[in-house]
Structure 1
Amino acid sequence: MTAAAPFLSTSWTDHVTGRQGFLVIDRLVRGVCSGGLRMRQGCGLDEVAGLARGMTMKEALHYDPTARYIPLGGAKGGIDCDPHDPAAYGVLVRYLRAMRPYIEQFWTTGEDLGLTQDRVDEAVAEAGLVSSIQAVYPLLDDEGAARRRLTDAFAADVEDIGLDELVGGCGVAESALTALDRAEVPYASTRVAVQGLGTMGGATARFLSRAGLPVVAVADVKGTIANPDGLDVEALLAARDPYGTVDRTALRPGDTELPGAAWLETPAEVLVPAAVSYCINTANERGITARWVVEAANMPVLPEAEELLAARGVTVLPDVVVNSAANAWWWWTLFGDIGPDPDDAFAHIRRSLRALTDRMLARAEADGSTPRAAAHAIVADRLPLITERFGWHG
């Protein structure tokens, strides 16, 4: 699928620290776009542009003309700064002030790599904005009811974990389980290794573990924790700090500490990169022995590495499908396709992600292509329908 030029691409330099920030609006639908804001050292314009294009695809993949949620355009924001830097919050606030006209009129945003939603909301308020998603309010039939529904959903807890921290991982797990079901592979003998135990990785590990898959390795900034007999996922989740780092005093006999990159080569059938972009490349892909790589993070597998993996029979389930529930859940809730109840949310995510993953894999089999190419083909089918209904940037 050929990518058109983005609607808008802009760079910003912080006058206090010299740090740079970026915003790319790939496409508008009904005058609005959607995409999170990430903060990481080394973030650049090309990365943000790729993520924005991915958001356009995620929105289009969930297009259902009968639903209340009508997908938006794709966008992404990025700030080149270590989120642990003492100056990071000030940079975030100044970035949001600079981007205020876009946030007020076009761009709905939220948490992404390096930023929690609470942190974004705090900075949004300090920057003088109403909300990080205020641009979508004019599209709502009943703004008050919609905002209450979303507020109630964000306040919902599931076993002392916020619903908003679980929805993305639920979708990732359902995509993986759909692939296993199509291959008729039993869950109990399907080992999983996860990179990242933050919001997305932690929730994915929980849902896969509860489905009966042994999670044999998890990686965080301190290294890899492994156990060939399966880790106690719930104990590790309970021992995390706010950044997803596990307190090693929670490890059990039989758990071993390995180098950070060891998760890639751990004997497992499913690998879940759920932390950073570009972590699987042509130098390390040869160590992967898994049958599936499930992209919980955005753009974790470089295209050249994906080609090599495909050539030796490793299936990459692409981010644009796998982690799309994290974004779609906001809009399903806000527009009223689902309510704030966790059971309602999980049921809808399971139905939607299973149907979408199954459609993608069936298309890949029919076309003799990769799942990513199949996802692109589905988007190519749907974007003209969205354009016909709403215009290119209408």
Structure 2
Amino acid sequence: MSTAPLLSVGWTDHVTGRRGHLVVDRLVRGVASGGLRMREGCTAEEVAGLARGMTMKEALHYDPSARYVPLGGAKGGIDCDPRSPEAYGVLVRYLRAMRPYIERFWTTGEDLGLTQDLVDRAAAEAGLVSSVQAVYPLLDDEAAARARLADAFALEVDGIGLDELVGGCGVAEAALAALDRAGTPYGGARVSVQGFGTMGGATARFLARAGLRVVAVADVKGTIVNPEGLDVEALLAARDAHGAVDRAVLRPGDREEPGDAWLAADVEVLVPAAVSYAVDAANQERVRARLIVEAANMPVLPEAEQLLAARGVTVLPDVVVNSGTNAWWWWTLFGDVEADAEAAFDRVRRAMRELVGLMLDRAEADGTTPRAAAHALVEERLPVIAERYGWY
């Protein structure tokens, strides 16, 4: 796999001076897929790494018998605090500037700091038909496909939109598959989650409903801890749009600890579901969990992962773990799954079980980490995709 991306675009907002980036790592059938994030400090290097990750996620979901053909990988990023009063205007101007790319070959959607509703509203204001319109020419029946996706996005399950839940369903299933393989009963497993937005919140819900005990949840205000288990549904109901929990709902047994307390929680499963680069060579020493499940993109730095592996800690990589949302979008749009919550969850669970199993089998056979095994699977699949559909 080439190390250089196909295309890198830098952008400076003429109003605020804020910087934005677009990196297209690879095209398949002329189209690439990858979300748009907004966070203070977002860099071109970060976006390039995320775009490469999207290429991998797409390739890992390649199924020759499916209607959905994986796309290439891309990513957008804006260096701006999403809570800033300037943020929405910056987003609209970024999308307006990137309109030629979005219209022709970059399909995008929510990522860290942005919700799909916000992206959709800003895209309409920027003059776009849709944030995924570049894929429309590849569809057999565009009108039916768009209606199916709209119907799917309109679905809610116990107060949360299906589009927010599918990613967390995938993360949870990856964790459960690894626990099953290790012979760890769900009832005895404790979980700490960093980030309580779309991905972290949904993951906590699915793990709690599977019987695991969520004992720590971190948001921008700090870490909420209860060794007996937190009331995940109450916390979900008390979130704001950025995943911050209203402390008024905390129960007597719940306590507040510093923002980094999630890392050292006495748990079996650690779920970093917020920012990139959260676990580094220095703070990895504090990790007590035996399993880290990367719900966020690039949360564990390479040197930290080596040190964790030497301590017997397994890291399930982001390219597999959090790939469910992206895959569900395309399964729905291309018609592999209908606008139905149970059908969506079933498809995500089956796909994640298969992928995690393949990855862990490969890691065992090769004597490598799960990430190295996932990369090996990608290296095998990309030439097959290129042979069938061309390099661009």
Structure-1-length-normalised TM-score: 0.99
Shift in Å at residue 172 of structure 1?
0.1
Partner of 1:179: 178
Q: Is the counterpart of residue 340 in structure 1 residue 339 in structure 2?
A: yes
Letter in 2 for 1:267: D
- For 1:273, the equivalent position in structure 2 comes to 272
Q: SS where residue 295 of structure 2 aligns?
A: coil
CA deviation string 1:342-392 (max 9, x = no partner): 010000001000110111011101110000000000001100100000111
Cα separation, 2, equivalents of 1:88 and 1:235: 29
Alignment of 1:83-232 (within 5 A): 83-232=82-231
Q: Distance in 2 between matches of 1:223 and 1:24?
A: 33
Give the 3 Å change call, closer, same or farther, for CA 3–304 of structure 1 in structure 2. Answer: farther
Partner of 2:385: 386
* 1:189 Cα offset (Å): 0.7
Aligned to 1:45: 44
Matches within 5 A, 1:229-268: 229-268=228-267
Find the counterpart in structure 2 of residue 284 from structure 1.
283
Q: Cα deviation per residue 1:19-67 (whole Å; 9 max; x = unaligned)? A: 1000000000000000000000000100000000000000000000100
Between 241-250 and 103-112, report the one with greater CA deviation. 241-250
2:336 match: secondary structure = coil
Aligned to 1:314: 313
Q: Which residue of 2 aligns with 1:78?
A: 77
| Displacement after TM superposition at 1:4 (Å) | 2.9
Alpha-carbon separation, structure 1, partners of 2:252 and 2:147 = 47
CA distance in 2, matches of 1:92, 1:247: 27
Q: Distance in 2 between matches of 1:62 and 1:377?
A: 14
Q: Which runs of 5+ in 1 are unaligned?
A: none
Structure 1 position 367 matched with structure 2 position 366: yes
Which residue of 2 is the match for residue 328 of structure 1? 327
Separation in 2 of the partners of 1:43 and 1:188? 39
Instruction: Describe the SS at the equivalent of 2:359.
Output: helix
SS at match of 2:245: coil
Q: Which residue of 1 aligns with 2:65?
A: 66
**What does the per-residue CA deviation read over 1:71-124, in whole Å, with 9 as the maximum and x for residues that have no partner?**
000000000011111111111111111111100100000000011001101110
Deviation, 1:145, is 0.4
**What residue number does 2:298 align with?**
299
Find the aligned partners of 2:182 and 2:71 in 1 and give their Cα distance. Answer: 34
Q: How far is 1:241 from its partner?
A: 1.3
Partners of 1:224 and 1:191 lie apart in 2 by 15
> Could you tell me which amino acid in structure 1 is paired with residue 168 of structure 2?
G
What is the CA–CA distance in structure 2 between the aligned matches of 1:352 and 1:234, rounded to whole Å?
26
Instruction: Measure the CA separation in 2 of the matches of 1:33 and 1:101.
Output: 14
Q: Distance in 2 between matches of 1:12 and 1:249?
A: 41
List structure 1 runs of 4+ shifted beyond 4 angstroms.
none
Gaps of 5+ in 2: none
2: CA distance, partners of 1:15 / 1:238: 39
Distance in 2 separating the partners of 1:195 and 1:170: 16
For the pair 1:57 / 2:56, whether they are aligned, the reply is yes
Partner amino acid, structure 2, of 1:109: T
Residues 303-327 of structure 1 deviation map (CA, whole Å, 9 limit, x = unaligned): 1111110111000000000000011
What letter corresponds to residue 241 of structure 1 in structure 2? D
Deviations 1:252-308 (A, max 9, x none): 111111000001111001000001110101111000010000000000011111111
- Taking the aligned partners of 1:373 and 1:117, their CA distance within structure 2 comes to 32
TM-score by length of 2: 0.99
| Residue identity in the other structure for 1:66 | S
Output the amino acid matched with 1:23: L
User: In structure 2, how many angstroms separate the alpha carbons of the residues matched to 1:239 and 1:14?
Assistant: 34
The secondary structure found in structure 2 opposite 1:166 is helix
What amino acid maps onto 1:44 in structure 2? T
The alignment-based identity, stated in percent, is 76
Q: CA RMSD in A?
A: 0.7
Cα distance in 1, alignment partners of residues 183 and 232 from structure 2: 25
The equivalent of 1:349 in structure 2 is: 348
Q: Match of 1:111, SS?
A: coil
Task: Describe the SS at the equivalent of 1:5.
Answer: coil
Quick one: distance in 2 between partners of 1:92 and 1:252?
Answer: 38
Partners of 1:247 and 1:307 lie apart in 2 by: 37
